[in-house]
Amino acid sequence: MLAYIARRILLMIPTLFGIMLISFAIVQFAPGGPVERIIAQLQGQDSGATSRISGGGGDFSGGQSTTGGGVSDQSSSRYRGAQGLDPQFIKQLETQFGFDKPAPERFFKMLWDYARFDFGKSYFRDISVLQLIGEKLPVSISLGLWMTLLSYAISIPLGIRKAVKDGSSFDVWTSGVVIVGYAIPGFLFAILLIVLFAGGSFWQIFPLRGLTSENWAQLSLGGKILDYLWHITLPIIAMALGAFATSTLLTKNSFLDEIRKQYVITARMKGLSERQVLYGHVFRNAMLIVIAGFPGAFIGAFFAGALLIETIFSLDGLGLLSFESIVNRDYPVVFANLYIFSLVGLAVNLLSDLTYTWIDPRIDFETREV
């Protein structure tokens, strides 16, 4: 098993390299950039992200910031709105953002810095990227963890029950509820919850903003826990809707496949009770495919799935941070998020494979090629 783990860890290196290389190359041809934003601010026209005239100018790297083409006396002509500005000032901006170095040099410097977890500072917030991510992390952890736990805690028992009662009226009406839940976008359901329970038009039971109240620091331990749960209720319900539907159907179908196999028939013929057959024999095999979907569900909720929910409920997490950084061309934050998200995703996938062997010792990755 140690050899398998070592091979998987070594494979993470070229995977991360490919992800960062493709993303870096795409950014080189993306319109807009930090220099354009500074120019727009000077012209009083800043709208978050500005456009670049020359398509191949390039933009960022890591650490000390790095992107763009070389410096020349014609620098100002390459940026929209820069006409009339001192070319030397434009050169200083390019140097400040690291755009005065060739793209290969910037890329490999970024990789070297990231290998040491040196992500530099945000272009526009005057704060280190790690500190900025650390400030937003508690919100995303809360959303991702609670959403995943809630959806699995409900969907696994429900999916098992639906498999046992396959074709019954219980299975039919719960399938209808699950399908409707899957079809409703999470952000629309979030708006409905606000209208109903957050003072929109009916009751004002739950708060609308943040994870805690303003007086949270003065509350007792029990009060802090209740206040936190009070704030997180509506966002988690809105996020869990789609994941709950997907994992329920996945659990049901997985159990149905196992229930129809020969070893289940044999176990029943030996006189085992239905509960012994279901949880002693079927459960271990049926849960493998459910566990396989756990990393994707968790990573999706933790990093990407909460953007609209964070916006609607005014939760300042990683999803909103990533979106704002892309819009504002804050490339140190963009690339750091991408690197960290990819690394964590690869690590969680490895952990999922190791969980396979814990649930079913018959699985042996050592005898298989990676």
DSSP string, 338-357: HHHHHHHHHHHHHHHHHHHH
- Interior angle at CA 301, CA 296 and CA 303, nearest 5: 95
Indicate the angle between helix axes 87-96 and 34-42, nearest 10 degrees: 130
Q: What CATH topology corresponds to 130-327?
A: MetI-like fold (1.10.3720)
Which of 16-20, 136-140, 218-222, 354-358: highest mean pLDDT? 16-20
Amino acid at 128: S
Decide: helix, strand or coil at residue 121: strand
Name the residue with higher pLDDT: 32 or 185: 185
What's the chain's length in residues? 370
Name the residue with higher pLDDT: 63 or 106: 106
Which pTM was predicted? 0.70
d(CA 364, CA 370): 12
The answer to whether 332 and 209 have CB atoms below 8 angstroms apart is: no
- Give per-residue pLDDT as tens, 325-368: 888 888 888 899 889 888 888 888 787 777 777 766 666 666 65
341: tokens are 């998200």
The answer to whether 166 and 253 have CB atoms below 8 angstroms apart is: no
259: tokens are 């229930």
CA distances from 305 to 136, 185, 214, 311, 344 (A): 15, 11, 27, 12, 16
Instruction: State the DSSP code for 363.
Output: -
Give yes or no for residue 119 having a pLDDT over 70.
yes
Task: Report the candidate in 350, 368, 335, 365 with the shortest Cα–Cα distance to residue 20.
Answer: 335
Q: Which residues, in sequence order, are bridge partners of residue 204? A: 198
Q: Which residues, in sequence order, are bridge partners of residue 128? A: 121
d(CA 150, CA 109): 42
- DSSP assignment of 302-315 equals IIITTHHHHHHTT-
- Give per-residue pLDDT as tens, 22-60: 988 888 777 666 666 666 666 665 555 443 333 333 443
Residue limits of CATH 1.10.3720.10 in the chain: 130-327
- Give per-residue pLDDT as tens, 231-248: 888 888 888 777 777 788
- DSSP assignment of 275-328 equals HHHIIIIIHHHHHHHHHHTHHHHHHIIIIITTHHHHHHTT---HHHHHHHHHHT
- Give per-residue pLDDT as tens, 188-240: 888 888 888 887 667 888 887 778 888 888 888 888 888 888 888 888 888 87
What's the average model confidence in pLDDT over 160-180?
88
Q: What pLDDT shows up at residue 17? A: 92
Task: Report the candidate in 198, 194, 178 with the shortest Cα–Cα distance to residue 240.
Answer: 178
